[in-house]
Structure 1
Amino acid sequence: MDDKMTISHPAVGIQLSAALSALGHNAAQIRQSMTSEENTLTLSSGFIPEKQVWVGAYPHALIEEVPDFLAHVDSRNLRFALTALSSIEAEVRAYTAQFDVKRLAVILGTSTSGIADNEILLKQYFVNQVHEEISHYKQEMGSLAKGLQKYLGWEGPAYTISTACSSSAKAMAAGQRLINADLADAVLVGGVDTLCRLTLNGFDSLESLSNDLCQPCGAQRDGINIGEAAGLFLLSKETAPVMLMAAGESMDAWHISAPHPEGKGAAEAMQKALSIAGITSDEIAYLNMHGTATPQNDAMEIKAVQTVFQSYEVPISSTKHKTGHCLGAAGAIEAAICQQVLIDQSWLPLHQAGPIDPELDQANYVLHAELQQPIKYVMSNSFAFGGSNISLIFGTTLK
């Protein structure tokens, strides 16, 4: 196929959405957190032995119990998902009542599933040699989507995507494809990831955790803060105030945990998204960076942005200094931020306020939250281990 050929996939509407994270649980809290310099992360000593770490913890209570028919997959991850769903459940059920349940799908992303709920039991088994019955159902990746499908009573496709940090963004892309392939009339997409010892100790062993609040593209950046989030979106063909215009994906497979140093896969994902959306780079009014605050990731992403946007100084920021890196749910919570930016038309998410790396300071970082003029399109990047890259483009139909 000609590389210059424009590929177009019809946009799908975001009919309903819910987002829970360190930012809070509603639109006003997202806006307040992303337009001020207040810290939303928490210093915790409960995850890594003899060490305190900053985490993006959800500050509110989750539902206290799940229905009996979901008891075998009960986990904090599932409760996080059901808590997010509860805020839009009545509207979801009312909207989807017009469709055959066999044409209602669930596609979600996660990287931890319910493994946190088994950590204590596994420690007792391996360290204390205590005989324990440990159910693996709750930590299976598929349990998240299947659990929500069963809860809703839907009978269409239901599966979980687990591609590390790109998981939930890929779930949104998969939902768009399912609708455009006429395999579903409505799809619940997004992602959920919860804080657990496994991931925090894993990133600590990689020496990837920041010793302080993370500083995306900062001169003194030294790693990430882990966060947790739940983001859910109901997609359909019907026009909505915010549309998922396109998803561009690539797989550079440069290294198991490091991105391509020149950002080739990242640039390819962004360029594909623009081509599929049928717009030019200078029509993107804001770019939500993957922006992890690790030295290699930030450096390659700025190179990729410069490759794709050339002389156009697109406003950019990373929001991970406020949410933490929410792993499999990162794409979903950042999509929710982009959605709210398009709805409000009055602000952009602030980039971290510390000194910028002199080698990366040519970019147009959002240092003032006020939006001076209406915007139509925004882009959100998610780049994962192994080179699993995706860029999403959202657009508004609001006048």
Structure 2
Amino acid sequence: MQINRVFVNSYRAVCSAALNAEDLFKVVCTQKSGIKTSTTFYADKTVGIGIVKVDLEKSLLEEIGTVLKNSNLDNFEETLLVIGSSVGGMRLSEEKYFQDNSYKNINPALHVIDSISYKISQKYTFKDDLSFSTACTSSANALGYAYEVISKGVYKNVLVVGYDTLCKTTVGGFYALGVLSANRCKPFDKNRDGMNVAEGLGILLLQNKQIDTSVEFCGVGYSSDAFHMTQPNPEGAKKAMQNALTCKGLQPEDISYINAHGTGTKANDSSEISAIESLFGKSVPVSSTKSITGHTLGAAGALEAILSVVSLQKQIIMPNSNLEYPEAEGMNYVLKAEEKEINYILSNSFAFGGNNTSLLFGTIK
């Protein structure tokens, strides 16, 4: 039973395309990508990749400080911290290993998934913390959990952090799966050839009280289809979106826009667009922002939630960049930024193992 409404009251974003949320929304709308061709991680492997131009670990604490400064809070002592990350502190461990040619000096506290909350807790005091690692749905699930505990009256304030950095292990893992493109990815295009792995940071302060700039977090839908270790199932994606609609008692025609997971891989794109067409038909506007930001893995859900919130605040639908030859003809792919009345947005995140999460955001009613 829902006791409280849930509002997004502050947010910060850092990724390869921009160093703040306002600039990120602008580059998405003007289709200026942060993806660059790189051989940084493996000299014999050329990949399109999204590398942040600043120290992401330093930015993590700075951006949390900015959220606190911009909030109605004096501190975080009555706030729950929820982290979403796919790889945790793997980059630091990897750097230490190659530096020492040994694993013995790796600090376990800086390696595991809750290494991010460990770092944050060195500077800020939270009521408690929790970490999610569910691959590419990590921060979407963190946001879903935050929605649950606020709506049920367990917490009044929850700070959600989506965070992932890149390292050889991460890049090499996706390369071994054969899903990395050497160029900027092309979500939903017939000629797509893979994704762009990237790093990023997304922070959202969720509260049970509305402020002037609030966007409502209206619900979350989950599914776990367990269809295949890496291949998605359209029915799982469809179920997650259906469950999100149920939270607010909405019908498919109530959705103004879908911010798709849209990675640019053949398996994901065809599965997701099939699920969208099955539930919504072909008229709902759809786009993916990953040709601009890259796929930021565990941070993707948080970053795309922020973009959805800004989209609602500005009443502008974001375009699907780098789309020339749509695979599914007749779908309403957004090809350029469009001013339009937007009431509700679904933001999708899907992960290996059939873990699917769909977040529902809306204007204040």
**Does the alignment reach a TM-score above 0.5?**
yes
* Deviation of 1:350 (Å): 1.2
Using structure 1 for the length normalisation, give the TM-score.
0.86
Q: What residue is the counterpart of 1:332 in the other structure?
A: 302
Instruction: Pick the aligned partner of 1:26 from 20, 25, 28.
Output: 20
Residues 36-45 or 236-245, more deviating: 36-45
**Aligned pairs, number:** 363
Structure 2 residue 226 is the aligned partner of structure 1 residue 265? no
SS at match of 2:256: strand
- Go from structure 1 to structure 2 and tell me whether the alpha carbon gap of 1:28 and 1:180 turns closer, same or farther (over 3 Å shift): closer
Deviation string, structure 1 residues 232-273 (Cα, Å, up to 9, x no partner): 11111112421111000000011111111xx00000000000
* Superposed counterparts of 1:315-326, under 5 Å: 315-326=285-296
Distance 2:273 2:3 in 1: 27
Instruction: Pick the aligned partner of 2:185 from 193, 214, 219.
Output: 214
* Deviation of 1:286 (Å): 1.0
Q: What residue is the counterpart of 2:358 in the other structure?
A: 391
* Deviation of 1:104 (Å): 1.5
* Deviation of 1:182 (Å): 2.4
* Deviation of 1:98 (Å): 8.4
Unaligned runs of 5+ in 2: none
Q: What residue is the counterpart of 1:342 in the other structure?
A: 312
Distance 2:186 2:7 in 1: 34
- Go from structure 1 to structure 2 and tell me whether the alpha carbon gap of 1:229 and 1:28 turns closer, same or farther (over 3 Å shift): same
Contact 2:4 2:152 in 1 (8 A): no
Structure 2 residue 322 is the aligned partner of structure 1 residue 353? yes
CA RMSD of aligned residues (A): 2.0
Instruction: Pick the aligned partner of 1:188 from 145, 153, 159.
Output: 159
- Go from structure 1 to structure 2 and tell me whether the alpha carbon gap of 1:319 and 1:161 turns closer, same or farther (over 3 Å shift): same
Structure 2 residue 239 is the aligned partner of structure 1 residue 239? no
Deviation string, structure 1 residues 271-319 (Cα, Å, up to 9, x no partner): 00001122221121111000011111100101100111135x1100010
* Deviation of 1:124 (Å): 5.2
Q: What residue is the counterpart of 1:200 in the other structure?
A: 171
Distance 1:220 1:232 in 2: 34
Using structure 2 for the length normalisation, give the TM-score.
0.93
Q: What residue is the counterpart of 1:143 in the other structure?
A: 115
Following TM superposition, the consecutive aligned residue runs of length 4 or more in structure 1 with deviations greater than 6 angstroms are none
Contact 1:9 1:246 in 2 (8 A): no
Distance 1:267 1:9 in 2: 27
Deviation string, structure 1 residues 147-187 (Cα, Å, up to 9, x no partner): 32442212x23011000000001101101111223222201
- Go from structure 1 to structure 2 and tell me whether the alpha carbon gap of 1:10 and 1:45 turns closer, same or farther (over 3 Å shift): same
AA partner of residue 381 (structure 1): N
Bigger Cα Rg: 1
Contact 2:194 2:264 in 1 (8 A): yes
* Deviation of 1:229 (Å): 1.1
- Identity among equivalent positions (%) equals 33
